[in-house]
């Protein structure tokens, strides 16, 4: 065979996994002394850094991207119109509007770019702090370096607790215990002997050894899983909604412009330049050019807040999706659990009279190593109040380590009285045979072991012996069976509370694990998340279990509490099917086996200490252990989402009010409003609206989503009302003497003065609308954020000063004085109040709730917050009683007369109906029984292997 080049190694033309280790050094052209720094740098150029590839985006293209969207195109078209078309009638091009539009575009793009860039840099800095380190032999010396510099041929040190930084072959030394759960999802470590291959992303649980690196980065076993990740690109809900709202606004403007063109030019025969100016008013004022910026800033600030809570947001639109998340698929090992064995002391079984459970633990701890421990030794010793108790008061004579033949460990020791004893722990059958259990005692032990197994618990037996000969080679006295210990991977201390809070927030949590079904059920029981779990093969495999064959797979997945024996492709499929059922699906995970599903999910969440593959595939990376930060992130995301939804309703309303209001004024009175003043309104509005990103809002108690029907309906109704308010104001000011008579001001005879008055009225009511759209109740009851109030006051002060004092011939405005300004403010305040009433009417109209409900409960006029909740619950309880075959309430009501008795009965009925509903909704057994009954089958003839 000819010489092997490093390029051949890079292209994986050399089998470095199976050849003898000596040949590995030969193929990689290195020695056990490691590489030199110069050689390492040379190979780094060939193989690349030891990390997953990251896609980088040009900052210039990113900045220009904020000007490349449909909303910006409309504004850019308006800028072109201002200089290319608005030069008729002997007038020069409209350079003021052109410059103003370009400035507005640049301001919005710059703010968006800066905020997103800052958020991205903050996330990158936090991610960089999570970069793994490793010990590598360079220039004949051991150095701690970032794992990213490793190349094939490097010699690394692996010891207890280390994460393997690259694929490597083990050199001489004792066997290692390696935890490959990040790759396979299995909890128990595997043994790796010298010469074996260890994989990047796995963890050393016992031993210490040196290894030679054979593959790095995307060429590792770890990195090759990334092809599944790269093949799943999703279009975010946010982008779809942004496009829908933008298209609605553009279509509204287009309709208004078409009507204006037809009426002004075909019917009224208006001058060309006047018509172009009116079209510019609709284009500039109607398009919500600040929408991408406001939403980007809101999400960027929200992303920063999430990072402070321990959740790094890699994709900011994931915030919006997390707000709507209603299903969370959680990996068990290392996510819901500690990925660390422990003993459930409450279930320890003692077989020696007058011995307590602590004594059983002590005998087990004595039969455990106190140094260089395996996973079982560590969990036993850590259960003691003080780990030193394992050797306290005794002298170790001999220790028998675990081996595959004996399947137990044992210690021979001397106590303080000089007596010799032995203690042993290990596989139950080995200890049972060692102690020669017989009859009922042996049967009792097997029964307990079976009960442990049924609950997903591993059994560990403990025995003891007296050695009267005081010789470590002595057979000793007969062994005594001390007890049985249940081992399990315990839930994190905060997992149960996190799941409970998630359920309260309307997020259904499903466990997805590679472990056995019994283990998954036991974990689910301890966490209070339910035990209706299925082996994934029974749902997604070739053959389906007969007991569930009659129910569609999608329904089973939707109703189940979790799935066991899951492979990576199953996780991906489960998430996909949930999404097809219109669920916003989140997925948590920490290993490379979770990466494809993390990428497929609407919100991929990599937990603390997750592998690079999981972080790369995820949208959110947690920096704090456990899942509790997810609840905080959900609440924060819903608050952020609420701000964004408030703004979108506002944006749609403003589009309708500008287009309809100015179109009617232009067509009815042939009044030409100044495009430049609309630009001023837009700029002042943008400045105020930017502060909505820090507004004070209440997060929704249930998953929130873009209800476009509500957004468009509210926007159209509120916008139409404000447009007619503007038309009404124009009529009063232009056609009547209402204002001079009522407020003692001089009539507006001058076109420039009318422009100023109309500008101020539009500015006030437009900005005031944000207080209506941001609130669920009366706008003056829910306190807005301090910045929003200050920005509104500042903007309207500027607007008022412009209307009062400005003499801008190019904008066709003239000062109207403080008298008119005061009158316009009073008119705006009066016309503001019906906006809240309209908001309530739209909400109740869309929800189907009757107006009399609100009026009867006086919800809007009191501090009562139930919005007719009591009556609706009672009505719902009656319907549920009938549905579930309970006694009709009318029969009972005729037998009772007192109000208190009726209330008590109604409450009890409601509780029973709620239990019945939740049982069917949240337990698979209830759902199965319901479906079976509907199909007319006999429930007793159906096997229910997997339901509890």
Q: Which residues are catalytic?
A: 331
Tracing tokens 């946010």 back to the chain, one arrives at: 238
| Pairing verdict, β 508-512 and 562-564 | parallel
Sequence-distant (6+) residues with CB within 8 A of 127 are 312, 314, 615, 621
Query: Which of 241, 629, 118, 224 is CA-nearest to residue 620?
Result: 629
Question: Do the Cβ atoms of 287 and 71 come closer than 8 Å?
Answer: yes
Burial of 527 (C-beta count, 10 Å sphere; 0-12/13-18/19+)? buried
Question: Do the Cβ atoms of 182 and 590 come closer than 8 Å?
Answer: yes
Give the three-state DSSP class for 660.
Answer: helix
- If phi > 0 it is left, if psi is from -120 to 50 it is alpha, else beta; for residue 528 that is left
DSSP lists the bridge partners of residue 408 as 426
- Helix ranges (DSSP H) in 781-847: 786-805, 817-832, 834-847
Which token pair is 679?
Answer: 């630009």
Give the three-state DSSP class for 814.
Answer: strand
Sequence-distant (6+) residues with CB within 8 A of 817 are 745, 804
Residue 850 φ then ψ, to 5°: -75, 145
Which token pair is 914?
Answer: 């709620």
End-to-end C-alpha distance for the chain, whole angstroms: 63
Separation in Å, CA 540 to CA 534, 552, 569, 592, 644: 10, 11, 10, 21, 39
- Helix ranges (DSSP H) in 11-94: 21-28, 37-47, 59-65, 70-80
Burial of 528 (C-beta count, 10 Å sphere; 0-12/13-18/19+)? middle
Which token pair is 36?
Answer: 């030199």
Element (H, E) at 342: strand 342-343
Burial of 439 (C-beta count, 10 Å sphere; 0-12/13-18/19+)? exposed
- Helix ranges (DSSP H) in 329-386: 357-366, 375-382
What's the CA dihedral at 150, 144, 307, 627 to 10 degrees? 90
SS3 content of the chain, % helix, strand, coil (to 5): 55, 15, 30
The CA distance from 328 to 585, in Å, is 6
Segment 358-365 long-range contacts (CB within 8 Å, at least 24 positions apart):
359/482, 360/462, 360/482, 360/483, 360/485, 361/485, 362/389, 362/390, 363/423, 363/425, 363/462, 363/464, 363/482, 364/423, 364/425, 364/460, 364/462, 364/485, 365/389, 365/390
DSSP string, 234-296: ---HHHHHHHHHHHHHHHHHHHHHHHHHIIIIIIS---HHHHHHHHHHHHHHHS-TTHHHHHH
| Pairing verdict, β 311-313 and 176-179 | unpaired
The CA distance from 697 to 782, in Å, is 9
- If phi > 0 it is left, if psi is from -120 to 50 it is alpha, else beta; for residue 858 that is left
Query: Which of 436, 412, 433 is CA-nearest to residue 422?
Result: 412
The CA distance from 498 to 278, in Å, is 57
């Amino acid at each position: 065979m000819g010489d092997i080049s490093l390029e051949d190694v890079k292209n994986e033309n050399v089998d470095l996994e199976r050849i003898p280790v000596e040949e590995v050094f030969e193929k990689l052209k290195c020695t056990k002394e490691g590489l030199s720094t110069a050689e390492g740098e040379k190979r780094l150029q060939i193989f690349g850094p030891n990390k997953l590839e990251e896609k980088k985006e040009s900052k210039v293209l990113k900045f220009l991207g904020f000007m490349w969207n449909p909303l910006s195109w409309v504004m850019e078209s308006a800028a072109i119109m201002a200089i290319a078309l608005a030069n008729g009638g002997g007038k020069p091009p409209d350079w003021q509007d052109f410059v103003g539009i370009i400035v507005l575009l640049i301001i919005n793009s710059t703010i968006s770019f800066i905020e997103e860039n800052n958020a991205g840099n903050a996330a990158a800095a936090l991610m960089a702090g999570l970069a793994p380190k490793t010990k590598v032999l360079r220039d004949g010396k051991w150095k701690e370096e970032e794992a990213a510099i490793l190349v094939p041929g490097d010699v690394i040190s692996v010891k207890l607790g280390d994460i393997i930084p690259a694929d490597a072959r083990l050199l001489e030394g004792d066997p290692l215990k390696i935890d490959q759960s990040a790759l396979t999802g299995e909890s128990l470590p595997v043994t790796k002997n010298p010469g074996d291959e260890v994989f990047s992303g796995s963890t050393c649980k016992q031993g210490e050894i040196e290894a030679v690196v054979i593959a790095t980065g995307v060429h590792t076993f770890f990195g090759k899983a990334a092809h599944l990740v790269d093949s799943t690109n999703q279009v975010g809900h946010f982008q779809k909604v942004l496009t829908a709202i933008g298209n609605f606004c553009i279509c509204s403007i287009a309709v208004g412009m078409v009507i204006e063109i037809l009426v002004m030019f075909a019917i009224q025969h208006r001058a060309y330049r006047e018509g172009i100016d009116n079209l510019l008013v609709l284009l500039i004022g109607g398009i919500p050019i600040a929408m991408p910026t406001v939403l980007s800033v809101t999400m960027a600030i929200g992303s920063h807040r999430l990072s402070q809570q321990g959740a790094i947001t890699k994709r900011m639109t994931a915030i919006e999706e997390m707000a709507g998340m209603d299903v969370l698929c959680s990996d068990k090992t290392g996510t819901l659990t500690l990925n660390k064995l422990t003993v459930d002391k409450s279930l320890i079984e003692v077989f020696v009279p007058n011995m307590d459970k602590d004594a059983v633990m002590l005998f087990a701890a004595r039969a455990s190593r106190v140094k260089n421990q395996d996973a079982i030794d560590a969990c036993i010793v850590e259960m003691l109040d003080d780990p030193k108790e394992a050797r306290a008061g005794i002298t170790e004579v001999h220790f028998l380590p675990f081996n595959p033949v004996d399947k137990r460990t044992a210690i021979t020791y001397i106590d303080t009285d000089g007596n010799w004893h032995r203690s042993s722990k290990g596989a139950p059958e080995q200890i049972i045979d060692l102690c020669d259990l017989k009859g009922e005692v042996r049967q009792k032990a097997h029964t307990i072991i079976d009960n442990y197994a049924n609950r997903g618990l591993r059994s560990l037996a403990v025995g003891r012996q007296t050695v009267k000969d005081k010789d470590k080679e002595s057979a000793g006295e007969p062994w005594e069976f001390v007890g049985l210990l249940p081992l399990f991977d315990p839930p994190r201390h905060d997992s149960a509370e996190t799941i409970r809070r998630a359920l309260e927030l309307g997020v259904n949590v499903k466990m997805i694990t590679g472990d056995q079904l019994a283990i998954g059920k036991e974990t689910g029981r301890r966490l209070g998340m339910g035990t209706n779990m299925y082996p994934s093969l029974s749902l997604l495999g070739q053959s389906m279990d007969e007991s569930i064959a009659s129910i569609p797979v999608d329904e089973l997945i939707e109703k189940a509490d979790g799935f066991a024996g899951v492979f990576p492709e199953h996780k991906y499929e489960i998430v996909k099917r949930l999404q097809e059922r219109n669920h916003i699906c989140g997925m948590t995970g920490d290993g490379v086996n979770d990466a494809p599903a993390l990428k497929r999910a609407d919100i991929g969440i990599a937990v603390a200490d997750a592998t690079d593959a999981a972080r790369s595939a995820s949208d959110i990376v947690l920096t704090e252990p456990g899942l509790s930060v997810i609840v905080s992130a959900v609440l924060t995301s819903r608050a952020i989402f609420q701000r964004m939804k408030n703004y979108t309703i506002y944006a749609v309303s403003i589009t309708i009010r500008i287009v309809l209001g100015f179109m009617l004024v232009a067509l009815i009175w042939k009044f030409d409003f100044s495009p430049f003043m609309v630009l001023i309104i837009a700029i002042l509005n943008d400045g105020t609206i930017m502060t909505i990103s820090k507004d004070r809002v209440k997060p929704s108690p249930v998953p929130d989503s873009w209800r476009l029907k509500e957004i468009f309906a509210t926007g159209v109704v509120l916008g139409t009302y404000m447009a007619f308010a503007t038309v009404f104001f124009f009529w009063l000011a232009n056609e009547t003497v209402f204002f001079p008579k009522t407020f003692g001001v001089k009539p507006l005879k001058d076109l420039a003065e009318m422009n100023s008055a109309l500008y101020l009225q539009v500015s006030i009511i437009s900005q005031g609308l944000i207080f209506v759209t941001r609130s669920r109740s009366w706008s003056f009851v829910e306190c807005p954020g301090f910045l929003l109030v200050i920005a509104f006051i500042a903007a309207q002060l500027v607007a008022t000063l412009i209307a009062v004092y400005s003499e801008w011939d190019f904008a066709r405005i003239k000062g109207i004085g403080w008298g008119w300004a005061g009158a316009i403010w009073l008119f705006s305040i009066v016309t503001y109040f019906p906006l809240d009433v309209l908001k309530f009417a739209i909400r109740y109209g869309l929800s189907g709730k009757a107006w009399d409900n609100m009026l009867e409960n006086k919800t809007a006029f009191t501090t009562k917050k139930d919005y007719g909740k009591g009556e609706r619950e009672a009505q719902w309880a009656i319907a549920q009683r009938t549905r579930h075959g309970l006694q009709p309430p009318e029969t009972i009501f005729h037998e009772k007369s007192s109000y208190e008795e009726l209330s008590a009965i109604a409450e009890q009925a409601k509780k029973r109906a709620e239990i019945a509903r939740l049982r069917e909704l949240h337990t698979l057994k209830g759902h199965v029984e319901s479906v079976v009954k509907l199909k007319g089958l006999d429930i007793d003839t159906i096997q229910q292997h997997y339901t509890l």
